[in-house]
Amino acid sequence: MSAITTHVLDTALGRPAAGVRVRLERAGKPGVLATGATDDDGRIADLGPDRLDAGAYRLVFDTAAYFAATGQTCFFPEITLTFALADPGQHYHVPVLLSPFAYSTYRGS
């Protein structure tokens, strides 16, 4: 399993957000570490390597394309979440609850 996974739920439609493109970056450093798109259950289980060094990372969600594909208004065309990995041996799950005019996130399990 990847060190970092994500799950996107569309709270406006009451279902998983399938097809959301996501990229993983190291905060403060150029380049993309991994890319993926959410599956029919809104999950990406194989986003990047099995182990990452401690430090700050970023997940960038392309919500504009998702909202266009589902016929919804888009206020947040992109969501960028920056978070810190303290323990390289742990798994980090970063879910997003999404709607056209709001989003929230938390560290999942």
In this predicted model, what pLDDT tens digit does every residue of 52-108 receive, in sequence order? 999 999 999 999 999 999 999 999 999 999 999 999 989 999 999 999 999 999 999
Three-state DSSP state, 92: strand
Reported as a single tens digit per residue, the pLDDT across 20-64 is 999 999 999 999 999 999 999 999 999 989 999 999 999 999 999
Q: How many helices (H) and strands (E) does the chain have?
A: 1, 10
